[in-house]
Structure 1
Amino acid sequence: MENQDTQSSASSSFVERIAEKLGGAANAARIYGEPIERNGITVIPVSKAMYGFGGGGGKKAGEEGSGGAGGIALTPIGYIEISEGSTRFRSIRDPQTLIKIFAISGVVVLLTARSITKIFRK
């Protein structure tokens, strides 16, 4: 039982190290970029951060092993504009979102038309 506890603690320690490294990478300095100032207007870029990780360990035939992986994605979502004592957030529209909306709308229209056609055939 003691060996299993040691193995479990080694695996959880490994996963904790991965989480710590990824969490450190998704910090405020990365999400809020360096301010840029031009003509009395300061702009601070803003990103959305997502990160995930997994890991584990095991023992088979007297051999032990552990592994893990993780990743981080920073997506620009807008910027903060500071001008003449006022601050406002300006979002950046993602063109992929518009494409997804059109694709989903097309599927909904197609399914609705198909349902209406089935109703009138009866």
Structure 2
Amino acid sequence: MKTNQVEYKSPSKVIFEKFARHKDVSLVYGEPIELANKKVLPVAKALYAVGGGGGYSGESEKSQGEGGGGYIAIKPVGVYEITSEKVMFKPVIEFRWVALLASVCTFGVICLLKNRNLK
């Protein structure tokens, strides 16, 4: 007797299989872009974490439970400019770090000026 059973595919397994197919440098290096006499190769930083779990009830083979979750972040880091003479990396400068540095320096100068005026 043949039964019509549908194969159950775990959600966690689908996620792990997807990352297993792309575990090479294609996650961080983009396709080269040709401009005039140079190539530009984008570079990113990829961070991912996944987890999951599952189980079966002892009462019946049909009882089961699974759960999973994950985090994916892709952040641009910079580009490689490739010409016939040289290869140069140009990083992406994040505005928030520049603003933080400027704020800290301004605060330091204000503190120094206040201490100078108190003497």
Distance in 2, Cα, partners of 1:92 & 1:23: 28
Q: Quick one: distance in 1 between partners of 2:55 and 2:97?
A: 41
TM-score by length of 2: 0.61
Specify the alignment match of 1:81 in structure 2.
81
Secondary structure in structure 2 of the residue aligned to 1:96:
helix
Q: Say if 1:45 and 1:80, in contact at 8 Å, map to a contact too.
A: yes
For the aligned residues, what is the CA RMSD? 3.2
Percent of aligned positions with the same letter in both sequences?
33
Change (3 A) 1:95 1:67: same
Q: Which residue does the alignment assign to 2:25?
A: 28
Q: How many residues align?
A: 96
| TM-score, normalising length: structure 1 | 0.59
The separation in 2 between residues aligned to 1:70 and 1:100, in whole angstroms, is 30
CA deviation profile, 1:38-91 (whole Å, cap 9, x unmatched): 110110000000001111124568442011022321111100110124212111
Structure 1 portions without partners, runs of 5+: 1-12, 114-122
1:55 paired residue number: 52
- Distance of 2:100 and 2:52 partners within structure 1: 33
Structure whose alpha-carbon radius of gyration is higher = 2
* Greater per-residue helix proportion: 1
